[in-house]
Amino acid sequence: MTASRLFRRAKIVCTVGPACSEPSTFRALIEAGADAIRINFSHAEHAEARAIIEATRRIGRETGRPVAIIADLQGPKIRVGDLPSPLRISEGDRCYFVPEEKGAGALPEGASRDRLIPTTYAGLAEDVAAGDRILLDDGKIEVQVLEVNGDCVEVEAVTPGELGSHKGINLPGVRVGAPSLTDKDRDDLAFAIDQDVDYVALSFVRRPEDVVDLRDRIGGHGLIISKIEKDQALQDLDEIIRQSDGVMVARGDLGVELPYEEVPLVQKRIITQGQELARPSITATQMLESMTTSSRPTRAEVSDVATALLDGTDAVMLSAETAVGHHPIEAVRVMERIIRRIEREGPPFPSRIREQPATERAAVQQTTSGAVAAAAMQAVQRLGAPFLVTFTRSGFTARVVSAQRPPVPILAVTDQSSTYRQLAVAWGVHPVLFEGEVNYRTMLSRARSAALDGGFGRPGDRFIVTAGVPFHVTGTTNMMRIEEL
């Protein structure tokens, strides 16, 4: 079987945590197929994160595999504050949300202290109005706003339940005024930049301006993945993705913010728009959730992963399965098996870009780079080329070609170590690191050796090359050539 058939196109993102903290387990995680390591700063301390980054880079060098590092910022998660004991809420109960720092002093006259719910978000009373819904603890408890009185929000319980400290608060349909980055996020971001991470994942994105603000703060250090988990983000989805370098379908909070039956349709929409704009997409949350305790996935979970792959996602993500689960390595192997089985149905699934009339394609597809990528696809199909090559500095060329979903591997040759790692999450891309004088002849020589060493082709095979002239200028893909191996 050729390398083209053996090559896995969709990528795997693994969240790290106590389950894979042992050095041998962590190495096995990468060797089993992890293409990117996600550090969740809702839990990780800086010392722990530094050790993970160092280990990832070391193992990547030793195995000759690019492994991207994703720093996932906690974001402005709104939570219940400290409760003296779990609060039992019955249908029809009146409760009172007040800022945690103000406590009972914010209660109106006659309100019961026993029904007080402190919140970590001081601006709640400014954002909500009578009739708004508030969901608690991943939507298990629903309350409706009756009245806003100063800093106090009086609500009536719609569904019963027991509420504990630090449970999440969701505000579906409410335009939340909290800043996109908290003080903790800014501290974590400074650390991530200092550690030269490959991606920063921005949680609870609501507006394109949230991404623009983060871009200004990053200053070119790493790429941005926007996590779509607020219903508000769907109103400006196209522009949010356009301002981002990648997008994550964060189905946890998204499934609370939206009616659950809407989530699969939103997932398809996000993946499709990501592909049209040449931004890699990651589908996340509860993909193999049962494997946190079981050594085998449920059939429904296997179908869920397969559906995301058939939708065209660039990568699938493991969260609790590898962070705190009992079978982290087996979870990666299961994900690998599912991907390979779906991709055996090849050639790879048609790109929606090719299905659209030219007038409806995203602007990125109608640039010179997009036109060259489309021409490369045609050449691959007509010549039966076993692979194609992109010479890229920023990775943009490779991502545009990837969005076409070619039926052969994309060998992305770059002299930038950061781009080499970042392309580890792009569908169908096999990153190749180049060292030496940057010109067409030397990079072509590196591409040929990588293709032969990797078994992507045989001497005499014709393959396609896309590149930009001059080489040192980012985003200038303007050339396609046919070469012989």
Catalytic residue ranges: 38, 79, 227, 285
CA–CA distance, 382 with 404 (Å, rounded to integer) = 16
What's the sign of the alpha-carbon dihedral 112, 118, 122, 126? Answer: negative
- Residues of 23-39 as b/e, b for ≥16 C-beta within 10 angstroms? eeebbbbbebbbbbbbb
Kindly compute the dihedral angle of the four CA atoms of residues 426, 428, 433, 439, in this order, to the nearest 10 degrees: -100
Which residues, other chains included, contact 162 with Cβ-Cβ below 8 Å and sequence gap of 6+?
Answer: 86, 87, 88, 89
Element (H, E) at 94: strand 94-99
Q: Are strands 11-15 and 36-40 parallel, antiparallel or unpaired?
A: parallel
Owner of token pair 């400006």: 236
Point out which residues pair with 199 in neighbouring strands.
70, 223
In 364-439, where does DSSP find H-type helix? 368-383, 396-403, 417-422
DSSP 3-state assignment of 241?
Answer: helix
DSSP 3-state assignment of 394?
Answer: coil
**Strand ranges in 152-228 using DSSP code E only, listed in sequence order:** 152-157, 161-163, 169-170, 199-202, 223-228
- Give 95-101's long-range contacts (Cβ < 8 A, gap of 24+): 95/143, 95/154, 95/155, 95/156, 95/157, 96/152, 96/153, 96/154, 96/155, 97/124, 97/125, 97/134, 97/152, 97/153, 97/155, 98/151, 98/152, 98/153, 99/124, 99/151
Of the candidates 288, 239, 11, 312, the one whose C-alpha atom is nearest the C-alpha of residue 226 is 239
Backbone angles phi, psi at 431, to 5 degrees: -70, 140
Other beta carbons less than 10 A from residue 303's beta carbon:
12
Q: Is 384 left (phi over 0), alpha (psi -120 to 50) or beta?
A: left
Other beta carbons less than 10 A from residue 307's beta carbon:
15
What is the helix, strand, coil percentage profile of the chain, to 5?
40, 20, 35
